[in-house]
Chains A and B, each alone.
Chain A
Amino acid sequence: MLRLALKMLLGDRAKYIMLVGGLTFSALLMTQQRAVFTGLVSWTTSHMRNMRASIWVVEHRVEQVNETKALRDTDVNRVRSVSTVDYAVPLFQGVLKARAADGSDKQIQLIGLHAGTLKGRPTVMVEGGEEGLERLRIANNVVVDVLASKRLAAGLGRPLQIGDTFEINDREARVVGICKTEPHFFGYPYVFSSYDQALQYAPRQRKMLSMILAEPKEGHSAEEVAQQISNETGLRAYTVPEFEKATVDWVWKNTGIPVSFLTTIILGFVVGVAVAGQTFYSFVLENLKHLGALKAMGASNGLISAMLFVQAMTVGLIGYGMGVGLTAVFGFIVRPIGQPPFVISIETLVGTLFSILVICTLAALFGILKVARLEPAVVFRG
């Protein structure tokens, strides 16, 4: 009977197409918006993937990785003095203005790395290689990311290359390497220099140390060492997962981004319920006399409910597949451009599947309630 139920559904082409279309749109909206949101959230923590370190030490009021409250220079030594710390190095991070070739000012994310270790250096070099990174120790030398090489090239007619110069805060910066980074949450291009050079570029302030990057001694976990640093220095030491979670939590609490995405996702759900519910209900109404005839012939409410459920779930799964497929096509199109951020996680796929199944269950329930109340004798009334 379930096979016949599917034939009944597929035989009504108009309703079938409308149901699948509505559910496809709903799945597309929910998956695409969630993928963009996931991508955007991943950008908030890209800093930590662009500058790898096990422990990030910050001023105790800092809540997320994109926030800076300067530390005292002596804090580096305080962290180094913690017995389980293998080594700790200073890091500068700040948003500065850089002047492109055409004289226009562009904002950049300047990262100052400890010259001795270059801890936090970019992991993927596109041009200049390891030698370019080593040359960061020389005055005025910088490594820029691909985005900076394009954005600061305004007026050049080509991206920045090794050997090109531009100005950061009226001081010369010479490109010695080009690296690949994950996009920054605020969209700034990355420029890497040595820590001392960064202090030269940045406007002078009483405290210039942004963060301290640390590694645990062998045999000690990052969690344990971070806890010890926090306890002994009064600074806030985060492991990578902790800092990522704190950053994402901060975005949820302090920005309207999740609400706006959530609104669209809910809208997708509501559209799905409205379109699928209404169409499926009208499909049931149009087939009411046939369903009544089946009841008269001895089909139980359970069997008819199962038939309606199978019909609803079938269009649901087809709509889900098509919606996710279209989202994937969207992803393939935008991925090379890099905008908007786009990450389809397994949670997104499972979440959309669950939502679509809920939509289909609701749609089926409308019909099931109608049929359950149907007297089989209705088939004798004209």
Chain B
Amino acid sequence: MKTETNGSNSNGAASELAIDARSIVKVFGLGDARTVALKGANFSARQGELHLVVGPSGCGKTTLLSVVAGTLNWDEGKVQVFGTSLDGMKRSEITDFRRRNVGFIFQQFNLIPTLNLIENISVPLLLNGIRRRTAEDKAGELLKRVGLAGKETKRPTQLSGGQQQRVAIARALVHEPRLVICDEPTSALDSETGHQIMDLLTTAARAPGRCVVIVTHDPRVYSYADRITQMEDGRVMAVLDGEPLQQFVHSTH
């Protein structure tokens, strides 16, 4: 176990870092409603790894995830994603960056219920300016890869939760993003389906130059992690890998 002190991690050179976030402070609200969600948190994740962020509710996991995904402004600190500094970027530049480089998987899937599966999966490609026909062909390939071939014209509401999450994974990967951000991807699923989803995400994380970061409460999936960042009270308490990671995984079972 390495207790975090300065945000660097010993397992990779700076050039291999997918995410390097240092001393992040995020404050919500003003006056009596002021809440400090991140209190100088340091976080890093490497290319090619599946990285879990764990901790009790309200510890700042999702806020940290939102910051490194470029969906939330932060108040202090520096964030680099694949060598690109997000500090001082204009909102439109961050939006462009997300569109090209980040895939999202949400706890509640967030598939658009009035669109069929192919249309849902092709959204990131269409946002990147790919022509509809090409985007739908690519979406069809991804749908096959997540084991849902033949269901192209189904609506999300016609699928089980596990199938919907597979579609969400296909949507997150279809434009081949370098960073995949997952928010509690298995918490709404039964154990068996959860493992299937984690298998897919593990495979996705092995793609060259890609990093998958998962925020989760679900101890069933800890064993899939290459590294685990533990958070508490707005701070990163520890980054686990190797033997300490194995011990942590066993202790949580």
- Of A145-153, A270-278, A298-306, A332-340, the segment with at least 4 beta carbons within 8 Å of chain B is A298-306
**Which of A4, A300, A377, A381 interacts with B126 by CB under 8 Å?**
A4
Q: Mark A1-42, 1 if CB is under 8 A from B, else 0.
A: 101100110111000000000000000000000000000000
**Which of A3, A10, A298, A379 interacts with B127 by CB under 8 Å?**
A298
**Do residues B106 and A300 form an inter-chain contact, with CB atoms below 8 A?**
no
**Do residues B98 and A296 form an inter-chain contact, with CB atoms below 8 A?**
yes
Residues from chain A with a CB closer than 8 A to the CB of B107 are: 382
When chains A and B are docked, how far (Å) is the Cα of A382 from the Cα of B104? 14
Residues from chain B with a CB closer than 8 A to the CB of A262 are: none
**Do residues B114 and A7 form an inter-chain contact, with CB atoms below 8 A?**
yes
A377-B114 in contact given A4-B123, A294-B123, A297-B124 (Cβ < 8 Å) = no
Whole-angstrom distance between the Cβ of A106 and the nearest chain B Cβ: 63
Q: Pull 5 A–B residue pairs with CB atoms less than 8 Å apart, ordered by A.
A: A3-B132, A8-B112, A297-B127, A298-B102, A377-B66
**Do residues B127 and A299 form an inter-chain contact, with CB atoms below 8 A?**
yes
Chain B residue nearest to A6 (CB atoms) is B114
**Do residues A376 and B71 form an inter-chain contact, with CB atoms below 8 A?**
yes
When chains A and B are docked, how far (Å) is the Cα of A377 from the Cα of B115? 23
Residues of A within 8 A of B (CB): 1, 3-4, 7-8, 10-12, 287, 289-290, 292-300, 303, 375-377, 379-382
Check: B84 CB closer than 8 A to any chain A CB. no
**Do residues A380 and B98 form an inter-chain contact, with CB atoms below 8 A?**
no
Residues from chain B with a CB closer than 8 A to the CB of A292 are: 110
A298-B113 in contact given A293-B106, A376-B71 (Cβ < 8 Å) = no
When chains A and B are docked, how far (Å) is the Cα of A303 from the Cα of B126? 11
**Do residues A375 and B62 form an inter-chain contact, with CB atoms below 8 A?**
no
Check: B100 CB closer than 8 A to any chain A CB. yes
Residues from chain A with a CB closer than 8 A to the CB of B123 are: 1, 4, 294, 297
Chain A residue nearest to B114 (CB atoms) is A11
Residues of B within 8 A of A (CB): 62, 65-66, 69, 71-72, 92, 95-96, 98-100, 102, 104, 106-108, 110, 112-115, 119, 123-124, 126-128, 132, 183
User: Residue among B106, B113, B114 with the most chain A CB within 10 A?
Assistant: B114
A12-B114 in contact given A297-B124, A298-B100 (Cβ < 8 Å) = yes
Residues from chain B with a CB closer than 8 A to the CB of A298 are: 95-96, 98-100, 102, 124, 127-128
When chains A and B are docked, how far (Å) is the Cα of A172 from the Cα of B183? 97
**Which of B102, B106, B128 interacts with A379 by CB under 8 Å?**
B106
When chains A and B are docked, how far (Å) is the Cα of A300 from the Cα of B126? 13
**Do residues A293 and B66 form an inter-chain contact, with CB atoms below 8 A?**
no
Residues from chain A with a CB closer than 8 A to the CB of B124 are: 297-298
**Which of A10, A293, A381 interacts with B114 by CB under 8 Å?**
A10
**Which of B65, B66, B104 interacts with A297 by CB under 8 Å?**
B104
Residues from chain A with a CB closer than 8 A to the CB of B65 are: 380
Whole-angstrom distance between the Cβ of B145 and the nearest chain A Cβ: 19
**Which of B72, B100, B115 interacts with A11 by CB under 8 Å?**
B115
Residues from chain B with a CB closer than 8 A to the CB of A377 are: 66, 69, 71-72
